[in-house]
A and B are shown apart, each in its own frame.
Chain A
Amino acid sequence: LAKTTQPISMDSYEGQEVNITCSHNNIATNDYITWYQQFPSQGPRFIIQGYKTKVTNEVASLFIPADRKSSTLSLPRVSLSDTAVYYCLVGGLRAGNMLTFGGGTRLMVKP
């Protein structure tokens, strides 16, 4: 399973755009890039997934460069409720849909 590296923590203010970058240098051809959000004492929740280029949904955008060795989760106009831990994961069919969670990025949104 590909190893991911992301910042341990980030601070932001309400209304700002937040970009969290994840490095995954040994990503395999079959691997997808997936981001999860976790609030304290709750299970992680799927945010977004992509394979290449850009993916956007109602919550976030995911930017993936052509070499796929990194990805950036973009949260537009964050609010206090976006304070959480964000996990970047890579995996695919070869991994049998297993997930490997790193330490994640602890995002603190301030008023």
Chain B
Amino acid sequence: DADVTQTPRNRITKTGKRIMLECSQTKGHDRMYWYRQDPGLGLRLIYYSFDVKDINKGEISDGYSVSRQAQAKFSLSLESAIPNQTALYFCATSDFSSGGYNEQFFGPGTRLTVL
């Protein structure tokens, strides 16, 4: 979905390097998420943000940090990359509704390889 973009789409880096993955959205949603997916497995939540001033750890936040620079931008950083962080990373957005659960819209993913 072009409304949620991720850069870069592919990245190969070395152990110990700092890496930043960026996510931008034009959907006007207030909620943004970062997930990682390992081969053959489901997605796991790393961090999520309900608005610019709200950042929350997800299931697997160790080794990662995030920055919500604006409503439309949410960046994921690996301060010192390690090989087991090799995975497919997805950004997602959703809108707030008091009525219940909301659909999440996913970006195309960033394939990260740490050598």
Listed in ascending order, the chain A residues whose CB lies under 8 Å from chain B are 30-32, 34, 41-46, 49, 51, 87, 91-93, 96-104
Q: Would B101 and A93 count as touching, CB distance under 8 A?
A: yes
* A104-B42 contact given A96-B50, A98-B58, CB 8 Å threshold: yes
Contacts of A51 in B (CB 8 A): 100
How many A-B residue pairs lie within 8 Å, measured between CB atoms?
A: 67
- Total interface residues on B, CB under 8 Å, equals 33
Asked whether, in the complex, the Cβ of B42 is within 8 Å of the Cβ of A87, the reply is: yes
Contact B102 A101, beta carbon cutoff 8 Å? no
Rounded to whole Å, the gap between the CB of A64 and the closest CB of chain B is: 13
B residues in contact (CB < 8 Å) with A = 1, 4, 31, 33, 35, 40-45, 48, 50, 56, 58-59, 88, 90, 92, 94, 96, 98, 100-109, 111
Q: Are A34 and B108 in contact (CB under 8 A)?
A: no
Report the separation of the CA atoms of residues A102 and B45 in the bound assembly, to the nearest whole angstrom: 12
Task: Write the chain A residue with the least CB distance to B103.
Answer: A46
Residue of A nearest to B105 (CB): A46
